[in-house]
Structure 1
Amino acid sequence: MLKIGVVGTGWIATRHMDALIKEEGVQIAAVCDINEKRVQEIASKYGVVPFTDYVQMFNESNLDMVLICTPPGIRIGPISEAAKRGIACFIEKPPAFNEEEAVEINRVIEETGILAGVGFMYRYSGAVEKAKELIGDTAVPIIRSVYVCGLAINPDWPKWFFNKSLSGGPLLDQAIHVIDASRYLVDQTSGDIAELQAFGSNLSIPKTDEFTIEDSHVLNIRYKNGTIQNHTQSWAINPNYANIELISNDFHLKIDLNPEPYAYYRSKLTGVYKNTPIHYDFKDEDFYVTEMKTFLEAVRTNNKDLIRSPYYDALKTLRVMLHANKSVEENKGVLV
């Protein structure tokens, strides 16, 4: 029986917990949040022990695995404490809020040897997996990608997301998923990026003392292998729309990451591959569930190779998005 703890009780935490309670051989043993009322509510809902101190939770719960679902500025503390005790860490994105912390976290993970992966769920989607299989070692000359949604015009969304000093804004919080999937697709090993330039605007929602992010972005990327990519991102456009297009002389593949508005868990792959139309609709998948099942199996078998987004590689994606925010702020291109 795998005993699991959860640090943080926001939407993504409950999304994972709803999946975990359906898994055999798994027990959610404890949950932690500094918001005492919230953690009591979640603990009552799932029948687990509540904590407001993650150190106490680790000391008293005898955990095999922990989900780190905190805001991005709260990563290094719980991960380090878990690593000291040999507890496997599933870490939500972004892997950290800045590069210095991410490098330190990666050092801790490597020195302790714990299993650790980052929640880049698109790597586990059927469409991304099938596209990667079709491409093989073939170069991808051009990528076009887009993710737009109305998160910033949702009156019920937590306001800290719109404070760049807390969330990192749309690039660090959401575009990071699409760029990570693109890196995964571009190169069978690393998808390393050489140079980028990003632009941001506030035509939809002007900045204020409370709204310090740009509501929309365009990001241009040059990969070290020669691939070029253009990504469009907005938090001020409904309905949700997210896809990645891979364009070459041999194929034009479209990865749709939410084929229906507000369907955040399945994918579809369409287009043309070597002059043959293709259509794969993964309508029965839930890539959040696939991601978690894979991590559980990695923990059970102590097989790090099952994890498609190991921390050291997630650090590379984080570095790209930090540079993208820097490019917006300095209004110039950045060498990565």
Structure 2
Amino acid sequence: MDKTTHVGGTDDFNVVFIGAGNIMFGSDEGPWNHSFRFEHKLGLRLKVVAIVDPAVERANAVLKKKRDSFVVSAYQNTRVFKTLDDFVKNMTPKERPRAFVVGSPPMFRGTLQPGRDIEIQIMKHFPGVAMFIEKPAATGPKSEIEQAFNIARRISDSNSICSVGYMLRYLKAVQKMKQIIEENGLVVMATIARYAAAYEAITKPDWWDKSKSAGPIIEQGTHFCDLSRYFGGEVDISSVTAHSLEWDEEAGHLSKLRIDESKIAPENRIPRVTAATWKYDSGAVGSLTHVATLQGRNYSCELEVHADGYCLKLVNPYVQPVLHVRKPGDDYEQTFTFPDDDPFFSEISNWIDIIEDIEEDPEAAQILSTYEDACRTYEFTWAIREASERSRATTLATRRPATSVVEEVLAEEENEA
């Protein structure tokens, strides 16, 4: 990113940030920080005309830090608003945005419900304006999935340049995998994904509450579900099966929880492990195991893609991606490393290049995750969660009759005594 040339031109590039949280301004938990990438991509052209967030104090706090730094020119005239309507009512012609970056919590987007329909509101007030929207598309109940697809259709009809933040698709390692598959005419036979989260570092109570985050598959494992689809193709949703290890089972105890889980209703506590399998429309098979078992800070994540004679294994994609490739005629793996790769920057850079209609390198400027594509991943993650909950319900149903029989026998023995 430090070797990138700023987008040319002298005109201001007005942006509105929806949300002033970690994804937008960074945190100690991970490498995300959209504002940082915008500053490097646009340089002095960047003008953040507004930050929209009901948590005004938080927004003003991050704004003060920016104004005390070398990027002050992007933020010196930024105004903070509680709602998008407030911004629209107070906006001057000079402040009209070229783009919106939506980084508010997913529970507040991806639906047609008032207060949870930020995409619809943006398109209403700013038809055709470019949008960058964080993943997942939403975290509402399953019954609202069709509303997300409705929004996808509206975005497509509006001709808005819209990108969704599935940044792992932009990894050089992932694109190398795609290149190998395409150049060798391979047909993917299986995808095997493993995602191990460092739960000790997850201190946000909402993440542990399914009624707010929708659970770890939908909120976190979504990246690996998306990558699995990226390589395997569309999923046969009816084929999805899954099992989970829950908080109240013998093997489900976590010793270093940093939140008070007793404050979360038992039915809303998240599973410790989810293991899922499915079929792709092509006939290929996919699997995902998501675990919240690691302590410390570092996650451990891998994705294998198998084809005839080939195994492509992506390791540690979030921090320092490594790609291991085994080819026909060779029992040993070839290893590729990709130092200084920043997929967060790449997804922002590609999106802005398309907005600016830069054609110097048309191959580079591609949006790799549309809103409709993101909705399909969202639907897929819900299918996994539902399958695991059905499995748990079946297990509990079979346990109860057995328990009842034992209790009845004990009661009879006591009466006879």
TM-score of the two chains, using structure 2 as the length reference: 0.72
Letter in 1 for 2:19: G
- CA 1:101/1:73 → structure 2, altered by over 3 Å: closer, same or farther? farther
Moved more, 35-44 or 208-217: 208-217
The equivalences for 1:110-189 within 5 A come to 110-136=156-182, 137-151=185-199, 153-154=200-201, 157-187=203-233
The equivalences for 1:1-336 within 5 A come to 1-14=12-25, 15-24=33-42, 25-46=45-66, 47=75, 48-59=78-89, 60=91, 61-76=95-110, 77-84=117-124, 85-86=126-127, 87-97=129-139, 98-136=144-182, 137-151=185-199, 153-154=200-201, 157-187=203-233, 191-194=234-237, 195-202=239-246, 203-205=252-254, 208-210=262-264, 212-238=269-295, 239-258=298-317, 264-276=318-330, 277-301=333-357, 306-331=366-391
Cross-structure match for 1:261: none
Q: Could you say which structure has the higher strand fraction?
A: 1
Any conservation in 2 of the 1:251–1:275 contact (CA below 8 Å)?
Answer: no
Letter in 1 for 2:98: D
Cross-structure match for 2:30: none
- 3-state secondary structure, aligned to 1:21: helix
Identity of matched residues, % = 21
Moved more, 282-291 or 109-118: 109-118
Residues of 2 paired with 1:58 and 1:278: CA distance? 54
- 3-state secondary structure, aligned to 1:106: helix
Any conservation in 2 of the 1:12–1:69 contact (CA below 8 Å)?
Answer: yes
Unaligned 5+ runs, structure 2: 1-11, 26-32, 67-74, 111-116, 247-251, 394-417
Runs of 4+ in 1 over 6 A off after TM superposition: 302-305
**Cα RMSD, aligned residues only:** 2.3
- The structural deviation recorded for 1:169 is 1.1
Any conservation in 1 of the 2:186–2:308 contact (CA below 8 Å)?
Answer: no
Any conservation in 1 of the 2:24–2:34 contact (CA below 8 Å)?
Answer: yes
Deviations 1:285-325 (A, max 9, x none): 11111111111112212999821101111111111011111
Letter in 2 for 1:88: A
Any conservation in 2 of the 1:55–1:78 contact (CA below 8 Å)?
Answer: no
Unaligned 5+ runs, structure 1: 259-263
Aligned length: 323
- The structural deviation recorded for 1:249 is 3.3
- 3-state secondary structure, aligned to 1:236: strand
- The structural deviation recorded for 1:186 is 2.0
Residues of 1 paired with 2:320 and 2:14: CA distance? 28
Residues of 2 paired with 1:306 and 1:204: CA distance? 44
Q: Could you say which structure has the higher helix fraction?
A: 2
- CA 1:332/1:110 → structure 2, altered by over 3 Å: closer, same or farther? farther
